[in-house]
Amino acid sequence: MAGHQSGEERNEGCASGGRDLKARLASIPSVERVIASAAAQPLIAEYGRTQVLAAIRETLDGWRRDVQTANSAAADDAPFDETRATAAAAHALAARSQSRLRSVFNLTGTVLHTNLGRALLPDEAVRAVVRALTQPMSLEFDLATGRRGERDDLIEALVCELTGAEAATVVNNNAAAVLLTLSALATKKDVIVSRGELVEIGGAFRIPDIMSRAGAKLREVGTTNRTHLRDYEEAIGARTGLLMKVHCSNYAIAGFTKSVELDELAPLARKHGLPVAVDLGSGTLVDLAQFGLPAEPTVRETIEAGADVVTFSGDKLLGGPQAGLIVGRANLIRKIRKHPLKRALRVGKLTLAALEPVLQLYRAPEFLRERLTTLRLLTRPGEEMRATAQRVMPALQRALGDAYRVSVEPMFSQIGSGALPVDVLPSFGLVVRSGGVPGIAHAATTAAASKRAGRGRALMKLEAALRALPRPVIGRIADDALHLDLRCLEAVDEASFVAQCAELHL
Ligand SMILES: *Cc1c(COP(=O)(O)O)cnc(C)c1O
């Protein structure tokens, strides 16, 4: 029974303690009574009887446990009636039915944030996905002949037009594209890769691992910082199946370095009758320099420089849905398409529905900056972001009170997803510091250290409170402050961001 200290104390010297407990337990209504009550009827209409019954039973069981362990929730004198039981059940049902996949505000400063879903899609793509979800589609159906079609046919001509490739196919993501390419072109063969390009992309994508999964043998050449053309040449032998280049997506090797460019490597490969595959990672279809962004090799340039196969992601700089595009020579793409893994890694109709209108946008480069969401976010004018910051700052300061100080400050965003890792984009946002007074760099005295620890705790508490909002706000802690980069807070969402500030509970 009540082994709890507080329970014993409450019953101490009171002969009626046991009887009180019994009376309290008896006052808990039956499940049948609660579910038959008027208050339960709207819940049944919303969630169905099965769920409501289970939630009420759970509530009542909880009360019985509370009474028996003299838990504080049962210690009050509020009656255990049907209204209270229904309210508790309603609360539990609402919490349970909330989607686990929530909309958030991405104020991390990383535009293509893998953990937050990468590229946001333009309206055209959204409408196409809704159509594909609700209407039958000509997914593998040739409307000209009435015969079975190929799902790749939906986008192949468009991808070729935009990249200059002879042929194209699409799979689930770029990791799948690389796995499939290696499986189709290099199983039981050697693949020559520079040691400086043996990358690991977050989330367990490592070139050497993919290579062994594909049954290919990795032949590393050169050193981490320097690889020469002769290193490749000396490694080519009877077992060589492919030369491969991998874009250093998430790191940069600086200093005393040498890598072999594609336009040097391709003639060597051709001399030996070998194909060159390039994993571009992000892979952009347009010259980003024209938008004031750091340059990235385009897919077209890569093909023109002599790549036989190029793989890249759909949801990185391309700005589309998660997908992996494989483009290149027709005979190689044919081989890739015929491999059994292609069927396992194929994309669904929603991906194709979203990808096509995104690719269409590239046909009108004049409008791209405005219409392609990713590009619009990456090129947002500083003045606009500063103005946004100034407009939303007061609401956040009001919600946080005196314990925190909010200021509008310049900061740096990142493209993310491994694109252009060392480049950062000047941005504006809110910086939140705890403790009212900005931290002065004291000597590492105990007092200063504990003060800093206190500020650290306050910032973590603030981060957690922002995550608990109806639409969670995700920022970034750096330099003893919480940074909310406003690059990705566009006008449409500003009002709802401001409104929910009032709901912050610290
Ligand atoms: C991002 C990346 C990948 C993986 O692409 P996903 O679309 O995330 O599967 C592979 N290679 C490189 C070089 C990358 O940058």
| Position in ligand 1 atom list of the atom nearest CA 280 | 13
Architecture label for domain 123-368? 3-Layer(aba) Sandwich (3.40)
pLDDT of residue 13: 41
Q: What is the secondary structure of 353-419 as a DSSP string?
A: HHHHHHHHHTT-HHHHHHHSHHHHHHT--HHHHHHHHHHHHHHHHHHHGGGEEEEEEEEEEB-BTTB
Q: Are 400 and 504 in contact (CB under 8 A)?
A: yes
Residue 174 Cβ contacting ligand 1 at under 6 Å? yes
Contacts of 182 (CB under 8 A, 6+ apart): 191, 210, 211, 214, 216, 242, 277
CA gap 225, 196 in Å, rounded: 6
| Ligand 1 mutation pick, 112, 180, 181, 201, max ligand atoms within 8 A of CB | 201
CA gap 485, 106 in Å, rounded: 8
Paired residues of 408 in beta bridges = 430
Q: Is the pLDDT of residue 14 over 50?
A: no
Residue 31's φ and ψ, nearest 5 degrees, are -55, -40
Give the Å distance between the CA of 370 and the centre of ligand 1: 26
Q: Is the pLDDT of residue 203 over 70?
A: no
Closest CA to 173 of 208, 141, 148, 210: 210
The residue type of 277 is: A
Give the Å distance between the CA of 182 and the centre of ligand 1: 14
Contacts of 164 (CB under 8 A, 6+ apart): 300, 303, 304
For residue 78, the number of C-alpha atoms closer than 13 Å in the C-beta half-sphere is 10
Q: Is the pLDDT of residue 480 over 50?
A: yes
β-strands 476-478, 481-485 pairing = antiparallel
Over residues 169-195, the pLDDT tens digits come to 999 999 999 999 999 999 999 999 999
Closest CA to 374 of 313, 304, 331: 313
Indicate which residue's Cα is closest to atom 7 of ligand 1. 174
Q: Are 373 and 319 in contact (CB under 8 A)?
A: yes
Task: State whether residue 348 is helix, strand or coil.
Answer: coil
Residue 374 Cβ contacting ligand 1 at under 6 Å? no
Give the Å distance between the CA of 312 and the centre of ligand 1: 7
Residue 359 Cβ contacting ligand 1 at under 6 Å? no
Least confident piece of the model among 72-81, 354-363, 428-437 = 72-81
Q: Which two tokens stand for residue 27?
A: 């006052």
Residue 279 Cβ contacting ligand 1 at under 6 Å? yes
Give the Å distance between the CA of 171 and the centre of ligand 1: 13
Burial status of residue 353 (CB atoms within 10 A of its CB: 0-12, 13-18, 19 or more): buried
Q: Write the CA distances from 29 to 37, 60, 68, 79, 108, integer angstroms.
A: 11, 8, 16, 10, 49
Q: Write the CA distances from 401 to 115, 462, 475, 483, 502, integer angstroms.
A: 31, 12, 19, 17, 11
Please check whether the domain covering 105-112+375-501 is classified as CATH 3.40.630.40.
Answer: no
Give the Å distance between the CA of 135 and the centre of ligand 1: 32
Other beta carbons within 10 angstroms of residue 365's beta carbon come to 14
Residue 324 Cβ contacting ligand 1 at under 6 Å? yes
| Position in ligand 1 atom list of the atom nearest CA 199 | 13
Residue 388 Cβ contacting ligand 1 at under 6 Å? no
Q: Is the pLDDT of residue 314 over 50?
A: yes
Over residues 376-426, the pLDDT tens digits come to 999 999 999 999 999 999 999 999 999 999 999 999 999 988 766 566 899
Indicate which residue's Cα is closest to atom 12 of ligand 1. 281
| Ligand 1 mutation pick, 211, 309, 313, 325, max ligand atoms within 8 A of CB | 313
Task: State whether residue 105 is helix, strand or coil.
Answer: strand
Indicate which residue's Cα is closest to atom 11 of ligand 1. 281
CA gap 332, 330 in Å, rounded: 6
CA gap 261, 189 in Å, rounded: 23
The residue type of 64 is: R
Indicate which residue's Cα is closest to atom 3 of ligand 1. 281
CA gap 290, 246 in Å, rounded: 25
Q: Which two tokens stand for residue 356?
A: 């096509």
Paired residues of 306 in beta bridges = none
| Position in ligand 1 atom list of the atom nearest CA 250 | 15
Residue 59 Cβ contacting ligand 1 at under 6 Å? no
Arithmetic mean of pLDDT, 331-346: 98
| Ligand 1 mutation pick, 181, 211, 251, 279, max ligand atoms within 8 A of CB | 279
Q: What is the secondary structure of 53-70 as a DSSP string?
A: HHHHHHHHHHHHHHHHTT
CA gap 174, 324 in Å, rounded: 4
pLDDT of residue 10: 45
Over residues 74-127, the pLDDT tens digits come to 556 788 999 999 999 999 999 999 999 999 999 999 999 999 999 999 999 999
Closest CA to 211 of 228, 237, 192, 224: 192
pLDDT of residue 362: 98
pLDDT of residue 185: 98
For the chain, the average pLDDT equals 91
In the structure, what pLDDT confidence band is assigned to residue 202 with cuts at 50, 70 and 90? low
Residue 434 Cβ contacting ligand 1 at under 6 Å? no
Q: What is the secondary structure of 37-50 as a DSSP string?
A: SGGGHHHHHHH-HH
Residue 173 Cβ contacting ligand 1 at under 6 Å? yes
Residue 245 Cβ contacting ligand 1 at under 6 Å? no
| Position in ligand 1 atom list of the atom nearest CA 417 | 1
Give the Å distance between the CA of 500 and the centre of ligand 1: 36
